[in-house]
Amino acid sequence: MTYRSFPIGSRERPLQVAIVGSGPSGFYAADTLLKQKGLHLKVDMFERMAMPYGLVRYGVAPDHQKTKQVIRVYEATARDARFRLFGNVQVGRDLQVKELREHYDQIVYAVGCESDRRLDIAGEDLPGSHTATAFVAWYNGHPDHRDDLFDLSARRVAVVGVGNVAMDVTRILVQDPQALASTDIAEHALQALRKSEVEEVLVLGRRGPVQAKFTPREIREIGDLSGVDLAVGPEDLELDPFSRSQLEKGGFARRNYEYLKEQVCRKGRRGHRRVRLRFFTSPVEILGKQGRVGSVRMERNRLVWDEQGQSRCVGTGVIENIDVGLVFRSVGYRGIPIPDVPFDERKGLIPNAAGRVLRPPGDDTGTSEYVVGWIKRGPSGLIGANKRDSVETVRGMMEDIRGRTARSLPEGNHEVLERQLMERGIRPTHFRDWQLIDAEERDRGRARGKVREKITDPEEVASLLKTSQCREEGRSLG
């Protein structure tokens, strides 16, 4: 049988796109592709977890339910008949990139940044020193972290870093767990937080308050918590001339700074939990006590500025030790490589130009490959920032297919991958599976007065899906 050539994206030869990753950037890329006028296409999305939505499901804090509502937008995309979800499929393990290249004209990597930056200090790996992202994944019911243990009998906890993840972790540690009881927080986390003995969270920023990465809403949220005192020392709000000139530009930094000034010298109230912000302070060592975190050794910093107006911190030699029972390192995410895809080790990203993956000269795979989201530009920006970013990448994808032709696809081509996966013992989860789990989680949540009760055990998910499949088969036979 011979196949004729047609323009890629025509009715006779639809464009075939694979998107790897089902978080916000992947869904925005899918949505932008599906909205291209006159383009015939099929979009398959691969996700290593059984359930979709990446950081929206497993990263956004449970007390930020409004943020999670963005899922409704992604669901509308997933309902499009030209879209298919393949959950439970890890590209690079269950399915190789070279196999994807055989099936698709274009591949979009939307894998985010799944690992963490390191502090590179002694004691970083002591028991009781954790990445903030592990804690976030634990309270959000991520199956890989459901059995993690955090010793919340510690009275004082250090959180290193002053970004929004640090704010999330701090807020979850100090707020009244009852305020989380109706959210979708994982039940194991809610129970552990109810027994928590944490009294104080010490948040360490290596540069000054003007350079803090948290946003005004997030710092205010902590200050507004009932039963919690937020404090910052006056010496930490003293600014050098450059920082002062940055404040004059207004924006987030100015709003943060003005808010922090209101917190200076706030006295702690009896029975209140306390959040103490320390700026110009770097941990230089985490010291052990009886085999686990006992204290953190910190050095006071000063800022130095380069000619481009960038600041970095330099130690002053002034050292202090403070007892802590737990440390959360919240110093940013980092991408991890996908086998057979270029990776910039220094930056922790896939090298790209405006979303087009850059391959070394002579290394041409024939398939066009792209990136969106954090693995494209680095782990920064709120969820909405991924939309702009995905639009830019899709623009490049559309330019690249212009004028390209390909042979029509063999009958049944669309089912080949599914068959290959099943032969490997992998049962991909599809959007209808998610809908079923979604309904089950909401039902379980309703019974407990919660938004949803996440099912965190992959075996339970598999067994629920199997039961429903058997029921469906029984119905169709009957």
Decide: is 161 part of the binding site for ligand NAP (CB under 6 A).
yes
Decide: is 164 part of the binding site for ligand NAP (CB under 6 A).
yes
Decide: is 213 part of the binding site for ligand NAP (CB under 6 A).
yes
Stretch that binds ligand NAP, among 161-169, 337-345, 346-354, 358-366 (CB under 6 A): 161-169
Angle between helices 71-78 and 24-34 (to 10 degrees): 50
Which tokens sit at 225? 């918590």
Could you give the CA distance from residue 339 to residue 336 in angstroms, rounded to a whole number?
A: 10
Task: Find the largest Cα–Cα distance for the chain.
Answer: 82
Decide: is 373 part of the binding site for ligand NAP (CB under 6 A).
no
Which tokens sit at 348? 């922790």
Beta carbons of 203 and 277 less than 8 angstroms apart: yes
Decide: is 219 part of the binding site for ligand NAP (CB under 6 A).
no
Report the candidate in 181, 269, 278 with the shortest Cα–Cα distance to residue 227. Answer: 269
- Rounded to a whole number of angstroms, the minimum distance from the CB of residue 33 to ligand NAP is 25
- Rounded to a whole number of angstroms, the minimum distance from the CB of residue 74 to ligand NAP is 18
Decide: is 172 part of the binding site for ligand NAP (CB under 6 A).
no
Could you give the CA distance from residue 220 to residue 164 in angstroms, rounded to a whole number?
A: 12
| Backbone angle region of 456, left / alpha / beta, with phi > 0 → left and psi within -120 to 50 → alpha | alpha
Q: At which residue do the structure tokens 């004729």 appear?
A: 4
Return the residue of 69, 191, 245, 380 that touches ligand NAP, per CB under 6 A: 380
Sign, CA torsion 383/389/395/400: negative
- Strand 292-305 to strand 311-323: parallel, antiparallel, or no bridges (unpaired)? antiparallel
Task: Name the β-bridge partners of 95.
Answer: 91
Which is nearer to ligand NAP, 217 or 395 (by Cβ)? 217
Report the candidate in 82, 25, 29 with the shortest Cα–Cα distance to residue 53. Answer: 25
Which is nearer to ligand NAP, 129 or 368 (by Cβ)? 129
- How many residues bind ligand NAP (CB under 6 A)? The answer is 25
Minimal CB distance to ligand NAP: which residue?
163
Q: Looking at residues 302 to 341 of the shown chain, list those that interact with ligand NAP (rule: CB under 6 A).
A: 330-333
Could you give the CA distance from residue 467 to residue 469 in angstroms, rounded to a whole number?
A: 5
Collapse the DSSP code of 366 into the 3-class scheme (helix H, G, I; strand E, B; otherwise coil) and give the result: coil
Could you give the CA distance from residue 371 to residue 115 in angstroms, rounded to a whole number?
A: 17
Decide: is 382 part of the binding site for ligand NAP (CB under 6 A).
yes
Decide: is 377 part of the binding site for ligand NAP (CB under 6 A).
no
Return the residue of 142, 145, 156, 207 that touches ligand NAP, per CB under 6 A: 207
Decide: is 386 part of the binding site for ligand NAP (CB under 6 A).
no
Stretch that binds ligand NAP, among 15-23, 68-76, 156-164, 340-348 (CB under 6 A): 156-164
- Rounded to a whole number of angstroms, the minimum distance from the CB of residue 25 to ligand NAP is 12
- Rounded to a whole number of angstroms, the minimum distance from the CB of residue 358 to ligand NAP is 24
Q: Looking at residues 66 to 125 of the shown chain, list those that interact with ligand NAP (rule: CB under 6 A).
A: 117, 119
Decide: is 211 part of the binding site for ligand NAP (CB under 6 A).
yes
Which is nearer to ligand NAP, 22 or 131 (by Cβ)? 131
Q: Backbone phi, then psi, for 84, in 5-degree steps?
A: -135, 140
Decide: is 160 part of the binding site for ligand NAP (CB under 6 A).
yes
Which tokens sit at 243? 């920082």
- Rg from Cα positions in the chain: 25
Which is nearer to ligand NAP, 170 or 429 (by Cβ)? 170
- The type of residue at 379 is P
Enumerate binding residues for ligand NAP (CB under 6 A): 117, 119, 160-166, 168, 205-207, 211, 213, 218, 282, 330-333, 379-382
